[in-house]
Structure 1
Amino acid sequence: MLDTVPRLTSPWPSWPDTPGSGLASVPPDQPFTRAQVRAAASRSTGPGGEWAVLTDHREWHHGALPLPTEPAAWYQLAAGGGWRAVVADTSHPMAHDIVTARTQHLPGLTAAWCSLPFAVPVLCAPTTGPGVAALQTAVKAASAEGLPLKRAVVALTSPGEGRLPAAVRAAATMLQSQVSAVVTVPFDPHIRTYGMAQANRLGRRTTDAGDALVAAVLASAHRSWGDPLPPAVSPAGLSTPSVPARPAQPAPEGVLTP
């Protein structure tokens, strides 16, 4: 799990069971080894086993940690750690980013994330009228920009018990033909109270929805790139920090530049 959100606005630092050395130990402007990346990752136990979480564990009163904005830097950090699958938790407003990039002729973060090897976008929205309205606007913006909506997965999260509102059910039906899959994540009082802390105590319906979400992402990836997936491009192991990184297979403990 890559936590791309600044420390004071991110819930991730309080959730892992065993904090690692944190993102501060792998500065984005310096070379690093795979062992450093692994040591930086915190450990969190969930229903599917242990997660490795790269987040900021410094005290709240420290200055803001300078995190890279370029998705390629996060991809290289993930590849440097050698994980087989990575989830990036991003926080930028998708529709605003797409429209701003288009009108100002700038590279957009959303487009850059979508262009990474084997990237499957997961769009999240609450199951409320305003939530799905914002989601539909984001989908329209992505479609106008030619982003890969057909391999995107939508996760609709329920903020409370009960049936989905009619507007939400209608929006989910309309989205089915525009994206790869739509998955509804039910309300879980444990998440409302504790977030993803004690993730191994999530409700059965929540873990089932998580399984369905993972299956939808894998199915989208397999439809796009084949089954099994071919090896992803990884950063090259470097003999000296001054050599620029090139796409290649990494050495097991080679020095990497983000």
Structure 2
Amino acid sequence: MRDTYASGAPVALPADARLVVPLMAATGGTGRSTLACLLAAELAAAGGTVVMDLGARPVSPWPRWAPGGAGLAAVPADRPHARAAIRAAAARRGPVDVLTDAREWHAPPLRLPAEPAAWYQLGAAGGWQLLVADTAHPVAHDVLAGYRTGGRGLTRAWCELPFAVPVLCAAATAEGVRTLQRAVTAMGAAGLPLRRTVAVLVAVDSGRGPAAVRAAAEELADRLYDVQELPHDPAIRAHGLAGGARPRGRTRRAAARIAEAVLEAARTTWGEDLPPAPVPAPLPAPPA
């Protein structure tokens, strides 16, 4: 675990730079959405930030955490949209915009694009500099399936987006880190960019983590850019992040360290000042 982090708020990104931060996990129940919320709030000091919720509406916490906005249903993926319409679709949570399905939980499933490039295009068209994607696909299965069949897979597609720093989430348990190790091994075999990948071990209780977790963290630190920890927060565990829930001070400090690790990974990979981000080509206008 790296411990040489800058103090204070993150340094702002250059005006023409963009950073993509896909949060991924091999299984559910890893605290991925909680981490996405905390991390986005910290990254917002470096530039305009949006969280993109790729989860299914009935199980997604984001409509409760960030109510309001027209929602993703207002920006269908098969047509171009003005920046004002995209911004109006986003809800607001503190300094962060959130693109989620704002409809009632029992509404028919919304057809969301699977291709990460479509989400990149939406974020770029909306004018955000930091795109935090709360993904929903299982990384280990996705990578192994693509490796064996020759398919591209969602994990590879997210990692190959311009200026992407992947964040892998896992529960800080013996089984959680074993699953993470398998996912990292699969990613390495597939040639994915481990050296700019950050892993976060999310504590499930307030005790000291098992010896297996500490050993796995040391082993993973040699293969990834960084391994960080998110401590157990009883208030978040009990009430989530809806309403006025406020994380503990040590939770916020941990989120700040994770945010700095993500920004350092980007600067180490592409330079202290990130180069200008490519502007995606616009979608063709739908037929009349």
Q: Under a length normalisation based on structure 1, what TM-score does the superposition of the two structures give?
A: 0.88
Pair 1:7–1:241, CA change in 2 (3 A): same
Partner residue of 1:229?
274
Cα root mean square deviation, aligned: 1.5
Q: Verify the 8 A CA contact 1:127 1:156 in the aligned structure 2.
A: yes
Partner residue of 1:5?
55
Deviation, structure 1 residue 86 = 1.4
Structure with larger Rg: 1
Partner residue of 1:252?
none
Partner residue of 1:246?
none
Q: Could you tell me which of 193, 196, 201 is aligned with 1:151? A: 196
Query: Is 1:206 the counterpart of 2:251 in the alignment?
Result: yes
Query: Is 1:78 the counterpart of 2:123 in the alignment?
Result: yes
Partner residue of 2:17?
none
* 2:146 partner SS: helix
Partner Cα separation in structure 2 for residue 224 and residue 119 of structure 1: 10
Pair 1:145–1:236, CA change in 2 (3 A): closer
Partner Cα separation in structure 2 for residue 175 and residue 120 of structure 1: 16
Partner residue of 1:56?
101
Q: Verify the 8 A CA contact 1:70 1:109 in the aligned structure 2.
A: yes
Listed as ranges, the matches of 1:151-190 within 5 Å are 151-190=196-235
Listed as ranges, the matches of 1:29-68 within 5 Å are 29-45=78-94, 50-68=95-113
Partner Cα separation in structure 1 for residue 280 and residue 156 of structure 2: 21
Q: Verify the 8 A CA contact 1:142 1:149 in the aligned structure 2.
A: yes
Between 195-204 and 175-184, the greater mean CA deviation after superposition: 195-204
The one-letter code of the counterpart of 2:269 is S
Higher relative contact order (CA 8 A, sep 6+): 2
The one-letter code of the counterpart of 1:76 is Q
How many residues matched?
237
Pair 1:120–1:39, CA change in 2 (3 A): same
Q: Verify the 8 A CA contact 2:123 2:131 in the aligned structure 1.
A: yes
Query: Is 1:20 the counterpart of 2:20 in the alignment?
Result: no
Deviation, structure 1 residue 9 = 2.0
Unaligned runs of 5+ in 1: 244-258
Deviation, structure 1 residue 198 = 4.2
The one-letter code of the counterpart of 2:156 is A
* 2:131 partner SS: coil
Q: Verify the 8 A CA contact 1:6 1:67 in the aligned structure 2.
A: no
* 1:89 partner SS: strand
Partner Cα separation in structure 2 for residue 237 and residue 106 of structure 1: 26
Partner Cα separation in structure 1 for residue 164 and residue 158 of structure 2: 7
The one-letter code of the counterpart of 2:252 is T
Deviation, structure 1 residue 237 = 5.8
Deviation, structure 1 residue 196 = 2.2
CA displacement, residues 43-65 of structure 1 (integer Å, 9 cap, x when unaligned): 112xxxx1100000111221100
The one-letter code of the counterpart of 2:53 is D
* 1:183 partner SS: strand
Deviation, structure 1 residue 125 = 0.3
Partner Cα separation in structure 2 for residue 205 and residue 72 of structure 1: 35
Partner Cα separation in structure 2 for residue 60 and residue 170 of structure 1: 41
Unaligned runs of 5+ in 2: 1-50
Runs of 4+ in 1 over 4 A off after TM superposition: none
CA displacement, residues 57-79 of structure 1 (integer Å, 9 cap, x when unaligned): 11122110000000000000111
Q: Under a length normalisation based on structure 2, what TM-score does the superposition of the two structures give?
A: 0.79
Q: Verify the 8 A CA contact 1:24 1:65 in the aligned structure 2.
A: yes
Pair 1:84–1:6, CA change in 2 (3 A): same
Deviation, structure 1 residue 154 = 0.4
Partner Cα separation in structure 2 for residue 145 and residue 237 of structure 1: 31
Listed as ranges, the matches of 1:105-124 within 5 Å are 105-124=150-169
Partner Cα separation in structure 2 for residue 27 and residue 216 of structure 1: 34
